[in-house]
Amino acid sequence: MDDTVIFVICAIIAGIIYFVPTIIATRRDHSNMVAIFLLNLLLGWSFLGWLAALIWSVSRTNPKDKAPAPTKAEAVVRCPYCAENIQALAIKCKHCGSNLSRTPQNQPGEANG
């Protein structure tokens, strides 16, 4: 086998290994794909730059993938005085400042005398 062929094959393999961080970022649909590519391209020749790009590519994925689900359902009710939307647990309207008569059951707010 010719030495040139071996050299070309080695160069292709080295190129693939060199751009592994970019490939990983692309396949994971990373949100900072372009930045990882630039870091990989410009600083990949130094081992630290290549390692940083690799770690970055596997670290954080697109935030849309794991968007925080709306677990805390913030119930909204209407203020009877100003008809603005306020939180159901509110005891005072933030829009008009009216004290809402209904109080949560667990809250010891009513004092006698």
Interacting residue ranges for Zn ion, rule: CB under 5 A:
79, 81-82, 93, 95-96, 98
Residue with tokens 């690799």: 54
Q: Is the Cβ of residue 43 or residue 82 nearer to Zn ion in the bound state?
A: 82
Q: Contact at 8 Å (CB) between 85 and 78?
A: yes
Residue 92 beta carbon to Zn ion: minimum distance, rounded to whole angstroms? 9
Q: Is the Cβ of residue 60 or residue 95 nearer to Zn ion in the bound state?
A: 95
Judged by DSSP in three states, 19 sits in: coil
Judged by DSSP in three states, 87 sits in: strand
Residue 95 beta carbon to Zn ion: minimum distance, rounded to whole angstroms? 4
Q: Is the Cβ of residue 60 or residue 94 nearer to Zn ion in the bound state?
A: 94
Measured CA angle at 43 (ends 62, 58), to 5 deg: 25
Residue 105 beta carbon to Zn ion: minimum distance, rounded to whole angstroms? 22
Task: Count helices and strands (H / E) in the chain.
Answer: 4, 2
